[in-house]
């Protein structure tokens, strides 16, 4: 495979359920070796998009390509190179943990047995237990083992950590970073949809925020943290400020809190010219950017 070929390419994807547009003209590109965040509110179209990538749903218009291939025409070629952890994990209840992994392995050309043993130990899963008796956290852990052991080039995670306790969530992410990513870094791509953004913050290279089936914002994570800033200032007395261009302004007496979208220099200059008693700037985290994108949307409207 040409390394320049994007791992995922979504172009003007449209998918309707009846008259409801779940995804309405979405485009995004994920290059190899990246960890790509796919953020959106409940019902924004995240899962629908992912199901189109996996050929579990057919697009109504536009198209998706995975490894440069059409998942509808090359289903096996695509699926053999990726693994998917859905938000609701289901296994055959009569199988044990060991049976389940063996069953999953039977579909794969590669299966890392050492890694499987390591992860079972790490998660303290009993290989002889029936999957029916597993907790939600243990099911997700089992699904993650099943997804990582084939050493796929692409790991698709759909709300993987929702409903899990903080310790299981932490272990989950550490496993993605450690066991999955360290294999062959240039060819380990992660596509993760989530609204628990803070946990994945350090992992995300690039992200897309989707809103009502459309792309609202696509950015590199470092660039986004550089662009969106929260500026706080306190003045000796109440002053009039010209804050046009600020994304959002909150005032409380002599204090003001401003959300800047790429124009923090100009806003800072304006604040400084009024001799503030105190002035501080911090970057927004990705989660705060996601929340702020709601304001952004209203500004566009």
Residue numbers at the binding site for other proteins (CB under 8 A): 33, 35, 170, 173-174, 177-178, 181-182, 185, 199, 201-205, 222, 225-226, 229, 272, 279, 281-286
Instruction: Report the distance separating Cα 40 and Cα 129, nearest Å.
Output: 36
Report the SS3 class of residue 120.
Answer: helix
Instruction: Report the distance separating Cα 148 and Cα 115, nearest Å.
Output: 8
Residue 6 near residue 29, CB atoms below 8 Å: yes
CB of 190 to other proteins, least distance (A): 9
Q: Which is nearer to other proteins, 174 or 294 (CB)?
A: 174
Q: Is the dihedral of CA 290, 295, 299, 301 positive or negative?
A: positive
Count the neighbouring beta carbons within 10 Å of the beta carbon of residue 158: 21
Q: Which is nearer to other proteins, 69 or 177 (CB)?
A: 177
CB of 240 to other proteins, least distance (A): 21
CB of 13 to other proteins, least distance (A): 26
CA atoms within 13 Å, Cβ hemisphere of 165: 6
Instruction: Report the distance separating Cα 17 and Cα 22, nearest Å.
Output: 7
Q: Which is nearer to other proteins, 69 or 279 (CB)?
A: 279
CB of 98 to other proteins, least distance (A): 26
Q: Which is nearer to other proteins, 100 or 181 (CB)?
A: 181
Q: Which of 220, 298, 299, 287 is nearest to 41 (CA)?
A: 287
Q: Which is nearer to other proteins, 258 or 286 (CB)?
A: 286
CB of 137 to other proteins, least distance (A): 18
């Amino acid at each position: 495979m040409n390394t320049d070929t994007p791992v995922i390419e979504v172009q003007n994807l449209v998918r309707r359920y009846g008259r409801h547009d779940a995804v309405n003209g979405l485009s995004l590109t994920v290059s190899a070796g990246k960890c790509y965040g796919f953020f959106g509110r409940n019902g924004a179209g995240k899962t629908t998009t992912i199901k189109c990538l996996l050929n579990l749903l057919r697009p109504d218009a536009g198209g998706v390509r995975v490894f440069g291939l059409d998942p509808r025409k090359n289903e096996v070629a695509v699926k053999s190179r990726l693994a998917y952890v859905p938000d609701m994990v289901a296994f055959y209840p009569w199988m044990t943990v060991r049976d389940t992994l063996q069953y999953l392995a039977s579909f794969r050309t590669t299966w890392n047995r050492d890694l499987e043993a390591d992860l079972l130990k790490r998660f303290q899963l009993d290989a002889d237990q029936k999957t029916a008796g597993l907790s939600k956290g243990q099911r997700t852990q089992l699904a993650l083992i099943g997804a990582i052991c084939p050493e796929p080039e692409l790991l698709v995670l759909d709300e993987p950590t929702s409903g899990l306790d903080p310790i299981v969530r932490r272990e989950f992410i550490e496993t993605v970073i450690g066991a999955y990513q360290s294999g062959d870094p240039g060819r380990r791509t992660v596509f993760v949809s989530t609204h628990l953004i803070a946990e994945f913050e350090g992992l995300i290279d690039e992200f897309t925020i989707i809103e009502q089936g459309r792309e609202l914002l696509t950015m590199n994570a470092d660039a986004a943290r550089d662009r969106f800033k929260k500026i706080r200032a306190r003045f000796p007395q109440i002053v009039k400020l010209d804050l046009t261009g600020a994304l959002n302004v909150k005032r409380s007496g002599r204090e003001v809190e401003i959300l800047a979208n790429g124009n923090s220099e100009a806003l800072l200059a304006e604040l400084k010219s009024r001799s503030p008693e105190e002035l501080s700037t911090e970057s927004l985290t990705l989660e705060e950017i996601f929340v702020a994108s709601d304001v952004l949307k209203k500004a566009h409207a």
